[in-house]
Every structure is written in C-alpha cells, then in structure tokens.
C-alpha cells in the first residue's frame, strides 16, 4: 500500500509541476546563488544524453516498471518513487513523444550540464533506495 501511495503522490506531483512550469510566458530563472536553474527542454531521448531512440526508451520503460514492482518489498518507498517517476515519464513519452525537463544544477560537477524533471529525480532516488536498502522484517 505504501508503494502505491508513494507512486500516486509522485505521479500527481510530476503532473502538477509540469502543468505549472510548461507555460509559454515562463522565463528561465536562477535560484539559490545560481545553483538551481529553471529552464525548459523537451527531451525525446534517454537520460544523460544516452544515444537511445525514443521507441527503445519507451520499450525499456514498459519492461522495467513491472520489475520495480516485484522488488517493492526491498524498499516500498524506493519502489514507489521509481514507479511514480517512471510512469510519469512513460505517460509523457507516449502522449507527446518527449519528456519535459525543467531543472538544472549548473554548479554541480559532471551532472550540471543535464536538465532534469521531478520524475527523473524520483527514479534516481528510488533506484538508489532499492539498491541500497532492504526492508527489515
């Protein structure tokens, strides 16, 4: 139940934030001493600019999401984060052919050049929790 609640919350937060930020009148903005940049980028490829085609990324998402569900007992919150973020990006990819990315961390070494969205961050944190934690019985 915790996994489903977490996934639903992430999915709703991703949809709400995308709706709020994807407006033509919104301009790029910097926050927290230029450490965070809100921008707009439609990404039809894979995360971290991996050279994967859109159809392959979509197919991999469809195959991986059920596996996340299988491992939900390992970390219910981690699975919920990964499922919610994965479903959000998959839904957007199926609907629009691309994912709307909007946040960048320009001062971070190596990853500062990438533009993310909330779903990407949820997938990353959820994947780490699934990999590192095991639920105590």
The residue from 120, 122, 123, 126 that is catalytic is 120
pLDDT at residue 88 in the model: 96
Q: Is residue 28 flagged as an active site residue? A: no
pTM of the model: 0.87
Q: Is 136's pLDDT higher than 60? A: no
Cα 127 to Cα 137: distance, rounded to the nearest angstrom = 21
The closest alpha carbon to 118, from 46, 13, 36, belongs to 13
98-128 pLDDT, tens per residue?
899 999 999 999 888 899 999 999 999 999 9
The residue from 14, 81, 101, 114 that is catalytic is 101
Are the CB atoms for 126 and 82 separated by under 8 Å?
Answer: yes
- Find the distance separating the first CA and the last CA of the chain, reported in whole Å: 16
Query: Half-sphere exposure (CA, 13 Å, Cβ side) for 135?
Result: 13
Tokens of 19: 């709706």
37-47 pLDDT, tens per residue?
999 999 887 77
Are the CB atoms for 91 and 102 separated by under 8 Å?
Answer: no
55-70 pLDDT, tens per residue?
888 888 889 999 999 9
Are the CB atoms for 122 and 85 separated by under 8 Å?
Answer: yes
């Amino acid at each position: 139940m915790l996994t489903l609640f977490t996934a639903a919350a992430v999915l709703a937060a991703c949809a709400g934030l995308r709706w709020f930020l994807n407006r033509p009148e919104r301009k790029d903005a910097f926050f927290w001493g230029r450490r965070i940049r809100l921008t707009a980028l439609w990404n039809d490829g894979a995360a971290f600019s991996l050279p994967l085609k859109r159809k392959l990324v979509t197919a991999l998402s469809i195959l991986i999401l059920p596996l996340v569900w299988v491992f939900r007992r390992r970390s219910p919150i981690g699975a919920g984060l990964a499922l919610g973020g994965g479903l959000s990006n998959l839904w957007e990819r199926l609907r629009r052919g691309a994912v709307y990315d909007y946040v960048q961390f320009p001062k971070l070494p190596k990853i500062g050049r990438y533009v993310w969205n909330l779903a990407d961050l949820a997938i990353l944190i959820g994947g780490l929790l699934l990999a590192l934690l095991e639920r105590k019985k």
